[in-house]
Amino acid sequence: MDRKIESALISVFYKDGLEPVVRQLYHEGATIFSTGGTQVFIEELGIPCVPVESVTGYPSILGGRVKTLHPKVFGGILARREFEEDQQHVKEYEIPLFDLVIVDLYPFEETVKSTDEEQKIIEKIDIGGPSMIRAAAKNYKDVAVISSKNDYAELVQHLTQQKGVLNLAQRRRFAAKAFDVVAHYDVAIAAYFKNDLEESSFQISLGNKQSLRYGENPHQPGAFYGSLDELFEKLNGKELSYNNLVDVDAACQIISEFDQPVFAIIKHTNVCGIALGTSVTDTWEKALSGDPESAFGGVLISNQTINKEVAEKINELFFEVLIAPEFEADALALLKTKKNRILLKQTQTFVPNQEYKRILNGALVQESDTLNFAEWKEQGARECTSAERENLLFANLVCKHLKSNAIALVKDKTLIGKGCGQTSRIDALRHALEKAKQFGFDLKDAVLASDAFFPFDDCAKMAHQAGISAIIQPGGSVRDNDTISYCKDNGIALVLTGVRHFKH
């Protein structure tokens, strides 16, 4: 059923883009009702406007908290045109009917981001706005609702092309958008208060949908919801893909662990090269040496400024994404010679405090793994040397970011071998040793980290035979003593941390 827009109720916080809407409604002969700042804005355009106060008989009260919460306003939105009883009430109580409701909600999320002052945040919880949106959306068979300034252009197009008329399909589509807007708004408010109560439901709502070329594979449609602009400034390259985003997330999480100069290379969410060093060039060369084969097509990240010297070296490798806090001008010019190469300037550190994933017909939620070790328990033949301790600390952090079962081999604060995603711990160690040998590393005095305990002493034996001098692992196996005894008998330093780092 088509509906000619003869009356519109407009109450918006931001006035951006509203002028063309108001002018088109006036052109089509619609009566416009409004309140407060929106009314002033419309009247300054030279367009007549009926104050809502003249309908309700009440001024805006309680500091603006109550303006539109009145039966005559909501009656005019919710009245069903085809219901005789509704129309009798409309006539009896002199309720004006609204064909269109336009509401832009108070900027609650923006306020939370900009201040910690609770009173300012509380005052940006919109009450009347969501209520009017829900009412109009519920009554979409008779009323159109616009709940976002992003829809102004579409509304103007329909009004222009259809001479002030909106059809049922268009009104229903706007209603669906409206319910999505208020649901997102309510979740944001609940998230602000959630620390004050034990949650009985898991809620998340992310806006800013960005359609991707495809998902994990070309036959899977995909999209990203969120604001990447809050974290990065894109300096060059094609659009980030689904798999790019997954690896960028992994890269940002591991880089956040370090204050010293560090460079990391990520492939399929696993770190395949990482090193600490004295400069950005030093860290790049060491990180790449750990597995130059896997680095091909990877995601690169550094916490140091990319200069011309290191850019020339990086430029020799095909990679998908490079992330850094700064790029010197000549380095950026060189790296931008490949138009598809994605260059991201990281403007904000990313440290999530919660993780979640879809499982079966529900979701798993957990706190992020931010505890690196609960204790430093020397259980081997001797205490670690200062160099071993530094390497073990580094190896433990790296191993935390590898898929389980995981083993990380480190020497001179460089990842020289890793085994990840294996179904047994001994296989993970075999893989790590093979990688180290493949690229010519001397394993004498290297150290080993494991994401979980050794169920047997076989890993300690294999590591010792390869030249490993120190091991760090959580402990907690009923057969811990087998590994402890072997290390004590063979001169190996062994540290138990008490913290497992499974990652699936």
The residues pairing with 61 across neighbouring beta strands, listed in sequence order, are 66
For residues 254-287, one letter each, b for 16 or more C-beta atoms within 10 angstroms of the residue's C-beta and e for the rest, the string is: bbebbeebbbbbbbbbbbbbbbbbeebbbbbbbb
What are the E-state strand segments in 231-291?
A: 232-236, 262-267, 270-276
Of residues 70, 138, 184, 437, which has the active-site annotation?
138
Q: Which helix (H) or strand (E) holds 102?
A: strand 100-104
Of residues 15, 72, 89, 268, which has the active-site annotation?
268
Number of Cβ atoms within 10 Å of the Cβ of 115: 12
Strands lying side by side in the sheet with 100-104: 50-51, 31-34, 7-12, 100-104, 144-146
At residue 452, φ and ψ (nearest 5 deg) are -145, 175
Q: Is 89 in the active site?
A: no
Instruction: Give the residue from 461, 471, 460, 478 showing the smallest Cα distance to 497.
Output: 471
Q: What angle do CA 117, 120, 121 make, to 5 degrees?
A: 85
Pairwise CA distance, residues 407 & 472, whole Å: 10
Query: Residues 468, 447: contact at Cβ < 8 Å?
Result: yes
Exposed, middle or buried by CB within 10 Å (0-12, 13-18, 19+), for 228?
A: middle
Q: Is 268 in the active site?
A: yes
Active-site positions read 138, 268
